[in-house]
Structure 1
Amino acid sequence: MPQQPVTFSLNPIGYIRSSLDELAAAPHQGGEGAPDAWIELAPQYAEGLTGLSSGDELIVLAWFHLADRSKLVIHPRGDRDRPLTGVFATRSPHRPNPIGMHRVTVREIDGNRLRVGPIEAVDGTPIVDIKIAIGNDD
């Protein structure tokens, strides 16, 4: 039986504040020279940081607001010598629902702000959710 289309909305819980201010300047992955950055949470979500500490590893889910949502095939890593590949077989930010997943380490907590890194998201990227990385939770 076919599924009926479901629509829903996501509301950002905060935004990335990074020295990366252009998509072209961002590395493909955090471990490829990405800087640390701040996640500024909206004040009403600050209590959700309770229990986090410097050194914790997190999964940050971001909305790649600058992505091309119409792409279904890409040359991986922008390398035209590589064959076209479906976006679901890659980590490309260009996809129908451009959700980014970043494994980062907490460097510092300051009120409703987290300094994390490395993270390749550009300044102003909306944050959808933050989760403790598997193996760090009780």
Structure 2
Amino acid sequence: MTPQSNEYMLSPIGSIRSALAELADAPRQGVEGAPDAWLELDPRYSDGLQGLANGDEIIVVTWFHRADRGKLLVHPRADHEQPLKGVFATRAPHRPNPLGLHRVTVREMRGHRLLIGPIEAIDGTPVLDIKIAIATDDQA
């Protein structure tokens, strides 16, 4: 048996192209006024889009590349009136492994590009994965 490493390597499969250029421009959640944006998939992964269609809901997993990975305590929603909480009890982007989970709708498909939204990720945000969203009883 070989020892397992405690470190893992992730490679982006694409990136977000958005009108949101700065962190301050982005709403906290996509449903809070975020625009649609283009997800530009590396052409090597284009075959992975087979079966997706306009109108599909997907989960886009991103890496918040500008996040502070050393933060463990935050004021929820950056509201200093609220008491500090641990990042694992919030949806704060600043955390040890700054993964973003975005439930979005596919608006348009053009080759290896998807117009998706609404999404609060800023321009240049790396995309790690795409998964089809599953309906739940709450959304049925």
| Residues 43-91 of structure 1: per-residue CA shift (max 9 Å, x gap) | 1001100000000000000000000000001000110000000000100
In structure 1, stretches of 5+ residues that fail to align are none
Equivalent position SS for 2:66:
coil
Distance between the aligned counterparts of 2:134 and 2:72, measured in 1? 30
TM, length-normalised to structure 1: 0.94
1:121 is matched with: 121
Q: Aligned residues, how many?
A: 133
Aligned 1:3-82 pairs, distance under 5 A: 6-82=6-82
Instruction: Say whether 1:110 aligns with 2:107.
Output: no
1:33 shift after superposition: 0.3
Distance between the aligned counterparts of 1:122 and 1:46, measured in 2? 23
Distance between the aligned counterparts of 2:38 and 2:117, measured in 1? 9
Residue identity over aligned pairs, in percent, reads: 66
Structure 1 runs of 4+ off > 4 angstroms? none
1:9 shift after superposition: 0.8
1:134 shift after superposition: 1.0
1:5 shift after superposition: 5.7
Distance between the aligned counterparts of 2:53 and 2:20, measured in 1? 25
1:135 shift after superposition: 3.1
Equivalent position SS for 1:70:
coil
